[in-house]
């Protein structure tokens, strides 16, 4: 699932290339992921010129100078591609935009769980989840974080991935943030001291600042991004030694979510 480091790296890549490019052809290939009608979609996009790409939580917002915004939530398996038009298309290519710059922007989604919206720029709040989303996890102040956190109960990992609390953190980076903060994922929010809340807030910024350039390094001239998170310290490393203390990393699967943590560095 693309999370803030992935989406920020993609956004940086696209903002060096997309602004000013015009959409020559818009192909709407697999309708299941779209939340707009086909005619509106092609009519609105064809001829439109890209502005800046923005991000809010796990949504990428492609602004168009026509006053519209193409909004995509990639969910679990959505991937963005920026390739030459003759590059082979993945079978699950949902959207392909041929650009005046000689490139093609594609959205591919293996499990077709992502969502694509096309709305006027001033009506972004009508995109489902936008109205209820908390502040973006990248840039939320300690004051706002501390003020919001008291409204949530339950385990701190569940809270971190809840977009109503703060937006943009998924399962993988929640593990990394809790490891950096030395907090056990299943501790209750109500047990956290003020110092621990501050440490948690600080760790969010640190983990994203560390991971985003590492993701960006994987992108060359083309964007054909698969998540290769070889730099993670704890997530999906169950059974391996903790990079800090050497204790075997714990792994718990609940629902379909894997949680990894170090029992020594993150005491319960
Ligand atoms: Zn450890």
Q: Residue for token digits 């490139």?
A: 103
Alpha-carbon Rg for the chain in angstroms = 20
Active site residue 151: no
> Known catalytic residue: 3?
yes
Distance 3 CA to ligand 1 centre (A): 24
Q: 183 alpha carbon to ligand 1 midpoint, in Å?
A: 11
Distances (CA, A) of 48 to 115, 125, 165: 21, 22, 35
In the residue annotation, 2 being an active-site residue is answered as yes
169-194 pLDDT, tens digit per residue, is 999 999 999 999 999 999 999 999 99
pLDDT over 80 at 94, yes or no: yes
Q: For the chain, give the mean pLDDT.
A: 93
CA of 241 to the centre of ligand 1 (A): 8
E-strand ranges in 147-230 read 223-224
Percent of the chain with pLDDT over 70: 96
* pLDDT of the residue at 40: 80
Note whether 109 and 80 are within 8 A (CB): no
- Domains of the chain as residue ranges with CATH: 4-126 (3.20.190.10), 142-261 (1.10.8.50)
In the prediction, which pLDDT does 225 show? 67
Nearest CA among 49, 28, 25 for reference residue 97: 25
């Amino acid at each position: 699932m693309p999370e803030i480091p992935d989406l920020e790296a993609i956004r940086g890549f696209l903002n060096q290339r997309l602004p000013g490019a015009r959409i020559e052809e818009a192909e709407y290939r697999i309708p299941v992921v779209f939340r707009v009608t086909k005619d509106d979609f092609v009519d609105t996009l064809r001829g439109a010129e890209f502005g800046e790409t923005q991000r809010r939580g796990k949504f990428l917002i492609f602004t168009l100078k026509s006053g519209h915004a193409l909004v995509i939530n990639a969910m679990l398996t959505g991937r963005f591609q920026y390739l030459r038009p003759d590059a082979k298309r993945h079978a699950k290519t949902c959207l392909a935009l041929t650009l005046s710059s000689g490139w093609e922007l594609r959205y591919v989604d293996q499990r077709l769980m992502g969502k694509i919206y096309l709305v006027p720029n001033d009506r972004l709040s009508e995109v489902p989840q936008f109205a209820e989303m908390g502040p973006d996890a990248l840039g939320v102040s300690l004051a706002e974080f501390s003020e919001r956190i008291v409204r949530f109960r339950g385990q701190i990992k569940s809270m971190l991935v809840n977009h109503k609390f703060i937006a943009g953190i998924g399962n993988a980076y929640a593990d990394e943030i809790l490891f950096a903060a030395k907090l056990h994922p299943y501790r209750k929010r109500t047990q956290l001291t003020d110092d621990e809340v501050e440490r948690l807030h600080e760790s969010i910024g640190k983990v994203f600042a560390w991971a985003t350039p590492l993701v960006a390094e994987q992108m060359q001239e083309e964007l054909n991004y698969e998540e290769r998170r070889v730099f993670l310290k704890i997530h999906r490393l169950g059974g391996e030694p903790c990079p800090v203390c050497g204790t075997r990393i714990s792994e718990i699967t609940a629902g379909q979510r894997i949680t990894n943590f170090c029992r020594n560095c993150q005491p319960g």
